[in-house]
Chains A and B, each alone.
Chain A
Amino acid sequence: MSREERKTVSIQRLTRSAVLLAAALVLGLIEGFLPPLPAPVPLRYGLANVAVMATLIFIGSFEAFSVAFLKSIFVFMTRGLIAGAVSMTGTLLSVGVMIALERLFKRRISIFLLSISGAIAHNIGQLIFLTLFMQYRISVLLVGPYLLVFGILTGILSGALLYAMMRPLQSFFRRNG
């Protein structure tokens, strides 16, 4: 690969990651307008995770981490320190787990497994933040079943959205130059 080509590839990765970051931000905004999940504990749909998973699958681990991290930075800037911190713990744990699984399964993990793992890790991350911030007042045994079941449900939702978007994403990312 010549120097020119390598430069083109890295610019391509950068611009593609930027497009997916923009998608993650928009999905996060849309989620804010949706009615709250009919869950007994405060949980989110995790729509932005669709863009993070697309980055992980089509570009790479580092780019996926960057998209997730910058998305949380955006929450810091627009919704304040505490909302940002809640977002950050869930998002970073979620993307960490997904990157680990993606590597463990040598890039062949099914979308279903990837997305429910990410959703459950996200819920656990937020629970860790809440228990630390609220001085351990939430019983894990009592809340655990809700987090697992709703993690599975929201994971299936975001996984299905990603799967529906696979063809358009493939044609977008196949194009070179």
Chain B
Amino acid sequence: MKDKVEETRDRRVFIRSRDLFVLVALVAVALILYFVTWSTRNSSELVAKIYYDGQLIEVVELNSGTERDFQFDVEPSITIRQFADKSIAFMSSDCPDRICIKSGRIRRAGEFAACVPNRFLIVIEGADPSSGQEDVDLVA
């Protein structure tokens, strides 16, 4: 009896054929979410919204050819740079992990970079106000 328990514990298969249904279902959900937000993702005008402590403090229009740095009095160690190729990134921060900087440049709708210790957040969204209705909050 004890051996039998040991067997079921140890003998694990890596994948069963029925797991593929789960995989297909998950990919389907991802694709549906992706296409539901298609218009936002493909709106030609994207903006980067910069939040500090939950408050919107800057809306950056991601135009090609514009390159500039942003700094804010609330947290002087943070530098955010807008690049000419319509992307934006954290360049400097005094936080310990630098996850915000490691996130690199973000450019597509829905992408975000966060500096949690400094309470900074950059989210890319469609500039078209009507597309904002698709931005459903997790806890609405």
B112 touches A143 (CB 8 A): yes
How far is it, in angstroms, between the C-alpha of A137 and the C-alpha of B36 when the chains are bound? 19
B15 touches A141 (CB 8 A): no
Q: Which of the residues B40, B100, B106, B138 comes within 8 Å of A128, measured between beta carbons?
A: B138
- Contact residues in A for B121 (Cβ distance below 8 Å): 130, 134, 137-138
Q: Which of the residues B6, B22, B104, B138 comes within 8 Å of A140, measured between beta carbons?
A: B138
B138 touches A41 (CB 8 A): no
Q: How large is the interface on A (under 10, 10 to 19, 20 to 34, 35 or more residues)?
A: 35 or more
Chain B contact residues, majority secondary structure: mixed
Query: Quick check: is B1 within 8 A (CB to CB) of the other chain?
Result: no
A142 touches B30 (CB 8 A): no
Query: Which of A13-21, A91-99, A109-117 is near enough to bind chain B?
Result: A109-117
Of A80, A113, A120, A173, most buried by chain B (CB within 10 Å of CB) is A113
A40 touches B26 (CB 8 A): no
B12 touches A166 (CB 8 A): yes
Question: With A111-B12, A159-B14 in contact, do A134 and B110 touch (Cβ < 8 Å)?
Answer: no
Counting residue pairs across A and B whose Cβ atoms lie within 8 Å, the total is 150
Q: Which of the residues B6, B8, B135 comes within 8 Å of A139, measured between beta carbons?
A: B135
- Contact residues in B for A173 (Cβ distance below 8 Å): 10
Query: What residue of chain B has the Cβ atom nearest to residue A149's Cβ?
Result: B30
Q: Which of the residues B104, B109, B116 comes within 8 Å of A142, measured between beta carbons?
A: B109
- Contact residues in B for A80 (Cβ distance below 8 Å): 96, 117
The smallest beta-carbon distance between A98 and chain B, in angstroms, is 13
B102 touches A36 (CB 8 A): yes
Query: Quick check: is B74 within 8 A (CB to CB) of the other chain?
Result: no
B97 touches A83 (CB 8 A): yes
How far is it, in angstroms, between the C-alpha of A141 and the C-alpha of B113 when the chains are bound? 16
Query: Quick check: is A145 within 8 A (CB to CB) of the other chain?
Result: yes
A41 touches B8 (CB 8 A): no
Query: Quick check: is A152 within 8 A (CB to CB) of the other chain?
Result: yes
A170 touches B114 (CB 8 A): no
The smallest beta-carbon distance between B70 and chain A, in angstroms, is 17
List residues of B whose CB falls within 8 A of some A CB: 6, 8-10, 12-16, 19, 22-23, 26-27, 29-31, 33-34, 36-37, 40-41, 49, 51, 53-54, 96-97, 99-100, 102-104, 106, 108-114, 116-117, 119, 121, 123, 125, 134-139
Between-chain CB contacts (< 8 Å), 18 pairs: A79-B97, A110-B19, A112-B16, A113-B15, A113-B19, A116-B26, A130-B116, A130-B121, A131-B138, A134-B116, A135-B51, A138-B112, A141-B37, A142-B109, A142-B110, A142-B125, A148-B30, A163-B12
Query: Given A41-B110, A134-B121, A163-B12, 18 other A-B contacts at CB below 8 A?
Result: A36-B104, A42-B102, A57-B9, A79-B97, A86-B116, A111-B12, A112-B14, A113-B22, A139-B110, A139-B125, A139-B134, A140-B137, A142-B135, A145-B34, A148-B27, A149-B27, A152-B23, A152-B26
